[in-house]
Amino acid sequence: MVAQLQPKASPHQPPAPQLNDKPPIRNYWPYYQRQSISLTILAQILATTVLGGSLLITGIGTDRLEFWLIIMAALVASSLINIFIMLLIVAPFRDVLTAITRMAGEPTDEALPNPNARNYEKHGFGTLLQYLYALPSATHSDSNEAQSVERFEAALRRIRGGIAILDESGQLLYATDGVPQTIDSDGNAHLELVFDSRETISEWLASVAQHEVHADRIWLRVPDKLVGEENRRIYNISASYEQGSSAPLTLLFFDNSDYYQPEDDQLDFIAFAAHELRGPVTVIRGYLDVFAQEIAGQPGQQETELLLSRLIVSANRLGNYISNILNVSRYDRRHLQVHLSEQSLAAIYDSIRDDMSLRASSQNRKLSVNIPPDLPTVAADPNTLSEVFANLIDNAIKYSHEGGTVTISANEDRGMVRVDVIDRGIGMPKNVMRNLFHKFYRSHRSRETVAGTGIGLYITKAIIESHGGTIEVQSEEGKGTTFRFTVPIYATVADQLAARDDGSLGLITNPQATISNHAKYRG
């Protein structure tokens, strides 16, 4: 459903007259000038005749020279004076006609009047001329506007994307062909977009409409369909909001499917491979654990133990990568299931404590963990939440300095349990933090120095928000980074969970659901 652009006349502008087969405007001033002079001379002849009659009454006859001299002098003098006065009086009219003649596109020998002339500055005639010059050409205004609309629409057709206009309530007013749309049962058009864990356009509009006069926002990598569906397109979207405007929210859609889709296709292949690798990697990890237990404490096996510990760390990290890839693949298809139940946060961390300690020691880092066992129980899925711990701690280990300490702490905070993962490493600039939770995003510096997939933080954010929590990052270059996430205390959501048969809050398992973005990026 595409709204068509139509040229519209200004409410202050009358329809352009049809000038074909009509006398040109430029002919009117010479005609008007001749008529005015002729009438002025005729008036003076009549006045002179009256003067002659008066002279005859006074006794000065026509046979006297004085009579004719008086008559001729009076006629010539009064005619010249009146013609001069007449020309001064009608000069503004001449200037107006000259301006209109030029606006009509007709040639004229008259100089275009200057609205800034000194004699026009004392009154409003200069303003009148400026207004005339500001008006569009009467002859060409309609054709020029139609040509402009035609050029604009031709340009829109060439853009890989489109333009949409929404009103204050989010209702779609106008959209070009390149904008993804769907029509509901009532015949109303709506944007067809799939947001992951980010604030949707409607949510953002509702927020800024209450607090802002003008606001801008950019969304990257927004698809119109789930991964695997036919004819899927992926857009970057730029939004501009102006309160009280005739077009309150303008959206520019840039179709970057050719850039983004290959990455999703590659992820599909990698997910298939990861699924096949998961079994063998699990077997390898099992044998490594058994071997490590067999040689533990035996004399002369220190080098073997060190080698095994590094192999175990690598195998566990590979297993973590596989889990992230599979979870992202499920999440993009809305197949990732999170089953929340009453859990101890300390117990969840204890399930990966040894692995995290081994990862830290193998890279000469230290872990400082402070998760009180008496914290209130939380509503959590232990499998996915342990992946959150692993992703954030592994991230902190990689970006901290040699010999540094990574601190993990947890505290109760207003109905939630807040977890901080802190490193004193290299930190991040603000422009990196803005994109940190986007899929496949990695800064240029991290690509060159640190191994990774670019999906760990993406799935971490999705998991935390599926728990009904939030995640944010604070960082300063050269001073380190803090990742902070929250999960709800079980008692605060127990009734909601009891009302659901699958023990889930339903934020991810529902194919139609979108996850609100509560993330904060603070420098």
Q: Is the pLDDT of residue 445 over 90?
A: no
For residue 507, is it within any domain?
A: no
In this prediction, residue 501 carries a pLDDT of: 58
**260 class by beta-carbon count within 10 Å (0-12 exposed, 13-18 middle, 19+ buried):** buried
Q: What are the distances in angstroms from CA 447 to CA 170, 313, 441, 451, 481?
A: 39, 21, 10, 7, 18
In this prediction, residue 226 carries a pLDDT of: 80
For residues 203 and 225, state if they share a domain.
yes
Lowest mean pLDDT among 8-17, 90-99, 370-379: 8-17
Q: Is the pLDDT of residue 4 over 60?
A: no
In this prediction, residue 307 carries a pLDDT of: 78
**206 class by beta-carbon count within 10 Å (0-12 exposed, 13-18 middle, 19+ buried):** middle
Q: Is the pLDDT of residue 285 over 80?
A: no
pLDDT band (50, 70, 90) for residue 299: confident
For residue 288, is it within any domain?
A: yes
Retrieve residue 296's tokens: 């533990």
Q: Is the pLDDT of residue 362 over 80?
A: yes
Mean of pLDDT values over 71-100: 72
Q: Is the pLDDT of residue 503 over 70?
A: no
Retrieve residue 348's tokens: 């969840």
Strands 234-242 and 214-223: antiparallel
- Please state whether the predicted TM-score (pTM) of the whole model is above 0.85: no
In this prediction, residue 284 carries a pLDDT of: 76
Place of tokens 């002859």: 139
Cα–Cα dist 292/360, whole Å: 18
In this prediction, residue 95 carries a pLDDT of: 74
For residues 350 and 483, state if they share a domain.
yes
pLDDT band (50, 70, 90) for residue 28: low
Could you report the per-residue pLDDT of 375-430, keeping only the tens digit for each? 999 999 888 898 899 889 988 998 888 889 999 999 998 889 999 999 998 888 87
Q: Is the pLDDT of residue 435 over 50?
A: yes
Could you report the per-residue pLDDT of 338-354, keeping only the tens digit for each? 788 899 999 999 988 88
In this prediction, residue 371 carries a pLDDT of: 93
For residue 15, is it within any domain?
A: no
Cα–Cα dist 476/489, whole Å: 30
For residue 10, is it within any domain?
A: no
For residue 151, is it within any domain?
A: no
Q: State percent of the chain over pLDDT 90.
A: 17
For residues 420 and 493, state if they share a domain.
yes
Q: What is the CATH number of the domain that holds 201?
A: 3.30.450
Q: What is the CATH number of the domain that holds 308?
A: 1.10.287.130
For residues 245 and 164, state if they share a domain.
yes
For residues 224 and 307, state if they share a domain.
no
Q: Is the pLDDT of residue 317 over 90?
A: no
Measuring CA to CA, which residue among 457, 329, 325 is closest to residue 398?
A: 457
Could you report the per-residue pLDDT of 210-243, keeping only the tens digit for each? 888 899 999 888 898 887 778 889 999 999 999 8
- Strands of the sheet containing 416-423, edge to edge, are 366-370, 405-413, 416-423, 480-488, 471-476, 520-522
Cα–Cα dist 458/465, whole Å: 11
Mean of pLDDT values over 487-502: 81
Retrieve residue 269's tokens: 């292949």
From the CB of residue 428, how many other CB atoms can be counted at a distance below 10 Å?
A: 22
Q: Which of 47-61, 98-112, 335-349, 488-502 has the highest mean pLDDT?
A: 335-349
Q: Return the bridge partners of 481, or none.
A: 423, 475
Question: What angle (nearest 5°) sits at the alpha carbon of residue 42, between those of residues 36 and 48?
Answer: 135
Lowest mean pLDDT among 114-118, 127-131, 350-354, 504-508: 504-508
Between 384 and 273, the higher pLDDT residue: 384
For residues 360 and 457, state if they share a domain.
yes
- Domain limits at 319? 261-333
Q: Is the pLDDT of residue 168 over 70?
A: yes
Cα–Cα dist 503/466, whole Å: 12
Q: Is 415 left (phi over 0), alpha (psi -120 to 50) or beta?
A: left
For residue 240, is it within any domain?
A: yes
Query: Domain boundary at 230, 257, 284, which?
Result: 257
* Helix 382-399 × helix 302-332 angle, to 10°: 120
Three-class secondary structure of residue 393 per DSSP: helix
For residue 152, is it within any domain?
A: no
Q: Is the pLDDT of residue 22 over 60?
A: no
Q: What is the 3-state secondary structure (H, E, C) of 200-264?
A: CHHHHHHHHHHHCCEEEEEEEEEECCCCCCCCCCEEEEEEEEECCCCCCEEEEEEECHHHHHHHH
For residue 3, is it within any domain?
A: no
Q: What is the 3-state secondary structure (H, E, C) of 154-176?
A: HHHHHCCEEEEEECCCCCEEEEC
From the CB of residue 75, how many other CB atoms can be counted at a distance below 10 Å?
A: 18
In this prediction, residue 88 carries a pLDDT of: 66
For residues 66 and 183, state if they share a domain.
no
For residues 374 and 234, state if they share a domain.
no
For residues 425 and 486, state if they share a domain.
yes
Could you report the per-residue pLDDT of 367-385, keeping only the tens digit for each? 999 999 899 999 998 888 9
Q: What is the CATH number of the domain that holds 390?
A: 3.30.565.10
* Number of structural domains the chain divides into: 4
In this prediction, residue 27 carries a pLDDT of: 61
For residues 235 and 373, state if they share a domain.
no
Q: Is the pLDDT of residue 87 over 90?
A: no
For residues 352 and 477, state if they share a domain.
yes
Cα–Cα dist 449/453, whole Å: 13
Cα–Cα dist 253/237, whole Å: 5
Q: What is the mean pLDDT of the chain?
A: 76
Q: What is the DSSP string of 23-90?
A: --GGGHHHHHHHHHHHHHHHHHHHHHHHHHHHHHHHT--TTSHHHHHHHHHHHHHHHHHHHHHHHHHH
Mean of pLDDT values over 188-199: 83
Query: Domain boundary at 298, 313, 333, which?
Result: 333
Place of tokens 């209109």: 100
In this prediction, residue 19 carries a pLDDT of: 43
For residues 237 and 121, state if they share a domain.
no
pLDDT band (50, 70, 90) for residue 155: confident
Q: Is the pLDDT of residue 170 over 60?
A: yes
Q: Is the pLDDT of residue 515 over 80?
A: no
Between 177 and 57, the higher pLDDT residue: 177
In this prediction, residue 16 carries a pLDDT of: 44
Q: Would you say 480 and 365 are in contact if contact means Cβ atoms under 8 Å apart?
A: no
Q: Is the pLDDT of residue 459 over 80?
A: yes
Longest dimension (CA), the chain: 159
Query: Domain boundary at 315, 333, 351, which?
Result: 333
Mean of pLDDT values over 141-167: 75
Q: State percent of the chain over pLDDT 70.
A: 67
In this prediction, residue 152 carries a pLDDT of: 73
